Amino acid sequence: DAGITQSPRHKVTETGTPVTLRCHQTENHRYMYWYRQDPGHGLRLIHYSYGVKDTDKGEVSDGYSVSRSKTEDFLLTLESATSSQTSVYFCAISREGPSTDTQYFGPGTRLTVL
Amino acid sequence: GESVGLHLPTLSVQEGDNSIINCAYSNSASDYFIWYKQESGKGPQFIIDIRSNMDKRQGQRVTVLLNKTVKHLSLQIAATQPGDSAVYFCAENIDRSGGSNYKLTFGKGTLLTVNP
């Protein structure tokens, strides 16, 4: 998985609780991404980062926030989890932007919101 | 609009046969394409990529063909093996002037099943 770890790998939580997912990379890549994967939708970008403290929204960013205080870590936070956020979350990294470099994915986090 | 899709949601082949997985895209501005393989319970794994200035690119047992005239992308797997069973999906990047080129658009995937 290209030196990418995600934690936790599985989580069950209740509606309304905050949840933070962590992505850690050992590749020193500049770009990091958070995606969610749902049946019938494919991978959809939530947020991405193009450097330390530099982040921007993706296509499904509502209800999510991110932070990147170090090159190696990219955190995804659900401030108040909802059942619609039940999904599998993938982190990805790339050395350069997606028009010049491929993205490599982590193993995923399966999140269930009851 | 932007769309990346697959012609066949499932594909079943015999071990040893060649497999062809197709992908259609609608945006002529797409300039970079990637094929990923995803096994059950795992993250997507990079297989091969191709840029719009190329028509064909080969890897180990895999070939990607790009037909810009009809906006079609295909992945060919030679001598398919049981370990090739997975979901395969394509992704495209659209060259956006102005610097906001972060986004890959992913197809929904084709399930390849290899029968022994």
Return the SS3 of A83. Answer: helix
Q: Chain B: which residues have CB within 8 Å of chain A?
A: 31-32, 34, 36, 41-46, 49, 89, 91, 93, 95, 101-104, 106-109
Full pLDDT tens readout for chain A, 114 residues: 569 999 999 999 999 999 999 999 999 999 999 999 998 788 999 999 999 999 999 989 999 999 999 999 999 999 999 999 999 999 999 987 766 678 999 999 999 999
Interfacial A residues in 68-97 facing B (CB < 8 Å): 90, 97
Return the SS3 of B83. Answer: helix
pLDDT at B69: 93
CB-based contacts of B33, cutoff 8 Å, min separation 6: B23, B25, B49, B50, B51, B52, B64, B66, B73, B90, B91, B92, B93
CA A2 to chain CA centroid, Å, is 16
- With a cut of 50, which residues of chain B have pLDDT below it? 1-8, 98-99
CA distance B54 to chain A (A): 14
pLDDT digits (tens, 9 = 90+) for B22-40: 999 878 888 889 999 999 9
pLDDT at B31: 86
pLDDT at A83: 97
pLDDT at B102: 58
